[in-house]
Amino acid sequence: MIYIQHATVLTPHRQIDDGAVLIDGPQILAVGTADEISRPAGADEIDASGLILVPGFIDLQINGAFGHDFTADPASIWAVAAQLPRYGVTSFLPTIVTSPLETVAAAQEAVSRGSNYGSGGATPLGVHIEGPFLNPEKKGAHNPAYLRLPDPELVREWSSARGVRLVTLAPELPGALDLVAVLAKQGVVVSAGHSTATCREAEAGFDAGIRYGTHLFNAMPPLHHREPGLAGALLTDGRPVSGLITDGIHTHPSMIRLAWRALDGGSITLVTDAMAALGMAPGRHLLGDLDVVVDGQSARLLDGTLAGSIVSLDAALRNLIAYTGCSLAQALPAVTTTPAKLLGLEATLGRVAPRYLANLVLLTPELQVQAAIAKGQIVYEQSPG
C-alpha cells in the first residue's frame, strides 16, 4: 500500500485541502482529508506537503520521443512509455503516421505483446492511426506516397479489440463516411483531420459518427466567415471533441483562447503531437521516414512544414493556463477526464477516486512534475536539486 498525505488533491472536479489518498495495488482505495484517512500499518508513506495531487495525464497523439519514432520503429513504443511519466503522462496513444499498412500491424503487435522494460511507465491504451486516408492537399508532414482512398478492406483488422483506439481521416474523401461507420462498429473512435472539408462535409462526418478533431486549426482550412470549414464545424457542432496543440507555434495563443471560450473547455483534449526530438537536443530527427530539423522551439521538414512538436504535455498544460487565464482545476479535464471519456475509459481513468487506477501526478505550485505514479507504482521522482 501507498499512503499519500497533506496534498492539495484535485480530483479534478473537487479540491481537497490537506488531502490523503490510499493506494492498494494498482487501484485507489480511498480519497479524503488526512483526518478522515489514516495510514494503515505497513503502508509506504509519501508526505506531499506543499504539492498538488492530480490524475495522471493522457496524451492522445504522440509520434515518439527521446530519439524514438513510433512509425520508424513500432517496437520503441515501450522505451518511450518508460520515460513519459517525467512529463506527468501515465497513459497515451502512440501515433502511427501515414506509412505502409505493415507498419500499423507492427504497432498493433507491439502494444499487444507488452513491454520488455518491466511494468513501470506509462500505459499505451492502443494505437492512434493518423492516415493513410488523408487529403493530399493537407498532408502536412505525411509521406504522400502512402496516402490512400478510404477502403473498408484495408481496416478489417483495425478494431479496439486489436489495439486500435483512434483513426484520423479526411471526411470529404470518396467512401470516407462509409469507412467511419465501419470503424465505429469496430469500436474505434474516428477523428477528422488533414482535411479540406467544408462545414457541411464536416457535419456529414459527425452525422456518420466522427467524434474527434485532430489538432484543431492545423492541417485544415483557416476559419472564414462565409465558409467556416472543418475548424468552424469543430468549434460549433457540439458533438466532437477537439485535440489542441498548445505549444504557441502550431496555434497562436489568441486562437487557443478562441477555442477555449467556444468549447467552454469541456470539449478539448490537449495533445503534444510530439515527435522523436521530444527530450532530445536540437538537430536532425525522423518523423516516419521523413527528415525533420529541430531548432529548440519547433520541428520542421526541410521545406519548413511543421512536423509535429517538441512540447511535453505538462508544458502544454502550463501554456493553456498562461494563454487563457483559466485555473488548473479548469484545465485538468483536457488531459484527464475528457480524453478518458472519449475513449470510453471514464470508469477507470482520469480521476482521483476510489476504484480508479492509481495513475497520479504530484505537481509543485509552479505545476512542475515532482513525481508520478502509474498503476500504483512510483515510476518517476524528480531528483533533488
Spell out the SS3 assignment of 148-165: CCCCHHHHCCCCHHHCEE
For residue 169 the three cell numbers come to 481521416
| pLDDT of amino acid 118 | 59
Q: Which fold has domain 2-54+350-381?
A: Urease, subunit C; domain 1 (2.30.40)
Bridge-based pairing of strands 123-124 and 89-97 is parallel
Please report where in the chains the cell 457541411 appears, as a residue: 200
| DSSP one-letter code for 81 | H
What burial class does residue 101 get, using C-beta atoms within 10 Å of its C-beta: 0-12 exposed, 13-18 middle, 19+ buried?
middle
State the span(s) of the chain assigned CATH 2.30.40.10: 2-54+350-381
CATH homologous superfamily of 57-342 equals: Metal-dependent hydrolases (3.20.20.140)
What burial class does residue 116 get, using C-beta atoms within 10 Å of its C-beta: 0-12 exposed, 13-18 middle, 19+ buried?
exposed
Say whether the peptide bond before residue 132 is cis (omega within 30 degrees of 0): yes
Indicate the helix (H) or strand (E) that contains 113: helix 101-113
3-state secondary structure of 30: strand
DSSP 158-185: -SGGGTEEEEEE-TTSTTHHHHHHHHHH
pTM above 0.85?
yes
Show Cβ contacts of residue 36 under 8 Å, excluding neighbours closer than 6 positions: 20
| pLDDT of amino acid 129 | 98
CA–CA dist 60, 56 (Å, integer): 13
| DSSP one-letter code for 12 | S
Q: Is 269 within 8 Å of 244 (Cβ atoms)?
A: yes
| pLDDT of amino acid 368 | 98
What burial class does residue 237 get, using C-beta atoms within 10 Å of its C-beta: 0-12 exposed, 13-18 middle, 19+ buried?
middle
For residue 186 the three cell numbers come to 469496430
Show Cβ contacts of residue 298 under 8 Å, excluding neighbours closer than 6 positions: 247, 249, 306, 309, 310
The CA-based dihedral angle spanning residues 185, 188, 191, 196, taken in that order and rounded to the nearest 10 degrees: -60
CB atoms within 10 A of CB 186: 17
| pLDDT of amino acid 355 | 97
State the span(s) of the chain assigned CATH 3.20.20.140: 57-342
> Of 175, 215, 179, 212, which is closest to residue 309 (Cα–Cα)?
215
> Of 133, 140, 143, 142, which is closest to residue 168 (Cα–Cα)?
133
Q: Is 150 within 8 Å of 179 (Cβ atoms)?
A: yes
The residues that are catalytic are: 273
| pLDDT of amino acid 385 | 55
CA–CA dist 372, 54 (Å, integer): 10
The tens-digit pLDDT sequence of the chain (385 residues) is 999 999 999 998 899 999 999 999 999 999 999 999 999 999 999 999 999 999 999 999 999 999 999 999 999 999 999 999 999 999 999 999 999 999 999 999 999 988 766 567 999 999 999 999 999 999 999 999 999 999 999 999 999 999 999 999 999 999 999 999 999 999 999 999 999 999 999 999 999 999 999 999 999 999 999 999 999 999 999 999 999 999 999 999 999 999 999 998 889 999 999 999 999 888 888 787 888 898 878 889 888 898 889 999 999 999 999 999 999 999 999 999 999 999 999 999 999 999 999 999 999 999 999 999 999 999 999 976 5
CA–CA dist 13, 236 (Å, integer): 25
CA–CA dist 102, 69 (Å, integer): 16
| pLDDT of amino acid 235 | 98
| pLDDT of amino acid 131 | 96
